[in-house]
Structure 1
Amino acid sequence: MAENLKDCKVACLAAVDHLEVFCREKGIKCRDLGINKKNLCEYEVEYLCNFKRKVVTNGKTQETQDMYFVKWKGYPESMNSWEPRKNLKCTDLLNQFWEDLMCEMLRLKKRNVPKKLDASIVSHLVQRAKLRQILKLWENQLNSLGSNKGRIHVENLVDMEGPPKNFTYINDYKVGDGISLNEVAVGCECTDCLNSPVGGCCAGVSQHKFAYNDLGQVRIRPGLPIYECNKRCCCGPDCHNRVVQRGIQYSLCIFRTDNGRGWGVRTMERIRKNTFVMEYVGEIITTEEAERRGHVYDKEGATYLFDLDYVDDEYTVDAAHYGNISHFVNHSCDPNLQVYNVFIENLDERLPRIAFFATRAIKAGEELTFDYKMQIDPVDAESTKMDSNFSLTGLPGSPKKRMRVECKCGMPTCRKYLF
C-alpha cells in the first residue's frame, strides 16, 4: 500500500515563515526553505521593536549609546535582543523605524524622544512593522497574478488597516451564472492597421473610427465605442490597435487616504493625456442580481456596481468582492480619468469592457479619480445613447444606490454629495 502513496500530497497547516522559525529554533537544515549549514546561525534584522539611550562608561569617560530591540528574521520573538546602533547595517529599517516613531510622537504632541519609550509607543511601532509586512505580502501577491508592465505598490501611513477582507484580486471579468461571453469569429487582414487598414480594420468594419494614434492615445470622443484588434486578426501584438488588451503599463500605488475615503490609487509615474490607465474589472451579473445586491450594499454604505448599458441595461459589473486595482479608485467631481467602452474578443454590445483613459497629463504621485456620476456631451447619436445611461448609472451613482453620500473629493467644483 505504501508504494501507492508516494505521489500523495497534503496541504501544510503552517505558514512558510512559521516553518522557518521552527527549523532555526530546532537547528534543522531545510533545502526548500533555504536553510543550510552556512546560514543556519546567520541573523538578519526583520524589524526594529524598541529604542533606548543608555550611558556607557568607557574608562574615565561616559558616553550615550543608542540601543535597538531587534526582531530577527526567521527566529521567534523570544530571541529578540538589544543591539547597539554600530551593530546594525539595516539603514532602510532604521530610517523606517524613526519615521514611524516621529509620526507617533507628533500624534501624541510630544516634542522630544525620551530615553526610554512608553509601552504604548512600543506597541504601536511593532504593530506598524507587522502591518508593513502584511501589506508587502499582499503587494507581492497582487504582482504575481498578472504580467502587466506596471507594478502595483501598497502603502498605509495613516492607520492600521490591512488588506481588504472578502476581496479577491482578478485581472479579467469573472462571469456570473447564466451569462456567456461569445468570442469574436473573425479578425482583420491588415499588416499595418493604423496606416494601411484593410476594409477599415476592426473599427471600420464596425463602422466606427480608428480609436488611437501612433502613441496609443485615444483620439475619439468619450461616448464612442473602441473596437480593438483581436486574436483572430492578422496583425501582431505591436499593432497600434491593441492598447487596452496590453494591460496596465504604469506603476500604481494603492494607498490609505487620510480624510476618511478609505483606500485610493495614485500613479508612481507621469501619465500622458488620453493614455489608457486601467480597466474596471469585476464579476459580471444580471441587472436583477445587481438590484438584489444593491439593497445589501446600501446598508453597508458602499457599492461597486457599474452597469454595462451601452445598448441595453441587462448586465452589471460588481467589483465588491472580485476586482482589480480599479476597485480602489475614488470619486472626484473634477476627475483625471474618463470611461470608454471597449470591444476586443467579444463584440456583444451588451458586454463592453470598461476602460479608463487619462483626461489630462497626470503627474507622478497624483491620485487617480473618476466621476461616479459621469456625463458625456451628446455630440452624436452614439454618445447620446451612452450618456442617457451613464449619467444615471455610472459607478456608485446608480439608481441602485439610494443613500445620500457626502462627497470628500475636496475639489473647488465639488457637488458636496456623490448622489
Structure 2
Amino acid sequence: MILVENTVDLEGPPLDFYYINEYKPAPGINVINGITTGCECTDCPAEKCCPKEAGFILAYNKRKKLKIQPGLPIYECNSFCRCGPDCPNRIVQKGTPYSLCIFRTNNGRGWGVKTLQEIKTNSFVMEYVGEVITSEEAERRGQLYDNQGNTYLFDLDYDSDEFTVDAARYGNVSHFVNHSCDPNLQVFNVFIDNLDLRLPRIALFSTRTIKAGEELTFDYQMKGSIDLTSDSADGLSPSKKRIRTVCKCGAVCCRGYLN
C-alpha cells in the first residue's frame, strides 16, 4: 500500500506521471531475454542453484536478508526454476513488502518517501523502475530535462553504459526517493528472467534498521548510481558534463555538492 501525504503546501502529485511496476522498454529493447531453463532445486539453495550456476553465492540468508557486499550481483530463481514461491531466493521479484508513503518535504526538497513500518537491516525495500532507453536517448532527454529543473535518469552500468532507466514519466514509488549523503538504502543489480548483463534490474536494500515514519534515501553517487545534473535534489542523470549541484540532504556528513 502506498499513501500520499502533504501537510506543507497545496502542491499535488505530478499529473504527467504514470505508475508502473516493471521496466517499460523502448522499441527495440528486450528486457526479457527468452530464458527457457532454470534450476532443478526443490529446496533452495542447492549445489546447482541459479547464483552458483552464474558463478556467485546466494545473496540471501535463511531469514531472507541480504548477505552479500555492495557491488556483487544478485541472481534470483526465475520462472522456469522448479522451486516454489516460498523459495528463499525469490525476494525482489515479489515486489515491495512494506507500506510506504509519498510525502511533501518541509525543507524544499519536493516530494519524498517514508516507510510506515519498521524495516530491518539488509531487507529488500523497492525496485527502481522506469522506461529503459539507450544512453544516447538519455543524453538527449537529459538536455531537455535540465530546462525543467529535474530529471530521473539512472544508468544501467553494471556491465556497460549502453542503457539507462528514465523514471521521469513512468516509474514506481522510487521516483520520489530523495538523495542523501548518509543514506539508509543501497543499490544492487539483480538478474531474474533476463541474464543480459547490460540490463540488470535495480533493487534498493536497507543498510540499517529504518524506523516507522523515517524517510527513505539513497546516495545518487554510490556504486550503481550516476551523477545528478539538475538543480533539484530529486533527479538522476547519466551525463557528467554539468555544473555542480548543491546538495540539500541536510546530513551531518553532507558533501555539499552532488557532482
1:415 partner SS: coil
**Which has the bigger relative contact order, CA under 8 A and spacing at least 6?**
2
Is structure 2 residue 236 aligned with structure 1 residue 396? yes
What is residue 86 of structure 2 aligned with on the other side? 238
Instruction: Indicate the residue corresponding to 1:412 in structure 2.
Output: 252
Are 1:183 and 2:31 matched, yes or no? no
- 2:67 aligned residue: 219
CA 1:392–1:152: 2 relative to 1, 3 Å: closer
Structure 2 counterpart of 1:152, one-letter code? I
Whether the 8 Å CA contact 1:274–1:357 is kept in 2: the answer is: yes
Q: For residue 295 of structure 1, what is the aligned residue in structure 2?
A: 143
2:176 is aligned with 1:336: no
Q: Deviations over 1:90-137 (max 9, x none)?
A: xxxxxxxxxxxxxxxxxxxxxxxxxxxxxxxxxxxxxxxxxxxxxxxx
Residue 174 of structure 1 corresponds to 24
Question: Structure 1, residues 323-360: CA drift from partner, whole Å, max 9, x if none?
Answer: 00000000000000000000001110000000000000
Alpha-carbon distance between aligned partners in 1 of 2:96 and 2:80, rounded to the nearest angstrom: 22
SS in 2 for 1:284: strand
- Are the equivalent residues in 2 in contact too, given 1:332–1:409 (CA < 8 A)? yes
For 1:193, which of 44, 47, 60 is the aligned residue?
A: 44
**Structure (1 or 2) with the larger CA radius of gyration:** 1
Q: In the alignment, is residue 372 of structure 1 matched against residue 220 of structure 2?
A: yes
1:348 aligned residue: 196
Runs of 4+ more than 2 Å apart:
390-395, 397-401
The amino acid of 1:170's aligned partner reads: I
1:44-63 pair list within 5 angstroms: none
Is residue 155–residue 237 contact of structure 2 (8 Å, CA) maintained in 1? no
Secondary structure in 2 matching 1:363: coil
- Offset at residue 162 of structure 1 (A): 0.9
Question: Helix, strand or coil for the counterpart of 1:348?
Answer: coil
Where does the alignment leave 5 or more consecutive residues of structure 2 unmatched? 229-234
Matched, 1:360 2:208: yes
SS of structure 1 residue aligned to 2:138: helix
Question: Equivalents in 2 of 1:397, 1:361: separation in Å?
Answer: 29
The answer to whether the Cα contact below 8 Å between 2:219 and 2:225 also exists between their aligned partners in 1 is no
**Equivalent residue letter for 1:164:** P
Q: Distance in 2 between matches of 1:276 and 1:153?
A: 19
How far 1:186 sits from its partner (Å)? 0.8
Deviations 1:264-321 (A, max 9, x none): 0000000000000000000000011001001111222211000001111100000000
Cα shift readout 1:43-95 (whole Å, capped 9, x = no counterpart): xxxxxxxxxxxxxxxxxxxxxxxxxxxxxxxxxxxxxxxxxxxxxxxxxxxxx
- Work out the CA distance in 2 between the residues paired with 1:393 and 1:256: 24
| One-letter code aligned to 1:165 | L
Identity %: 65
Displacement of 1:397 in angstroms is 5.7
Give the counterpart of 2:121 among 264, 267, 273.
273
Q: Is the 8 A contact 2:29 2:133 kept in 1?
A: yes
Q: Secondary structure at the match of 2:133?
A: strand
Deviation for aligned residue 1:404 = 2.5
- Mapped to 2, the partners of 1:264 and 1:152 lie a distance apart of 12
Structure with the larger helix share: 1
Contact between 1:188 and 1:198, CA under 8 Å: does it hold in 2?
A: no
Cα distance between partner residues in 2 of 1:193 and 1:409:
41
Q: TM-score, normalised by structure 2?
A: 0.94
Q: Which amino acid aligns with 2:34?
A: E
Note the C-alpha offset of 1:408. 1.1
Match of 1:130 in 2: none
Cα offset, 1:407, TM superposition: 1.0
Instruction: Classify the secondary structure of the residue corresponding to 2:213.
Output: coil
Question: Do structure 1's residue 164 and structure 2's residue 14 form an aligned pair?
Answer: yes
Does the 8 Å CA contact 2:187/2:202 hold for their aligned counterparts? yes
Which amino acid counterpart does residue 247 of structure 1 have in structure 2? G
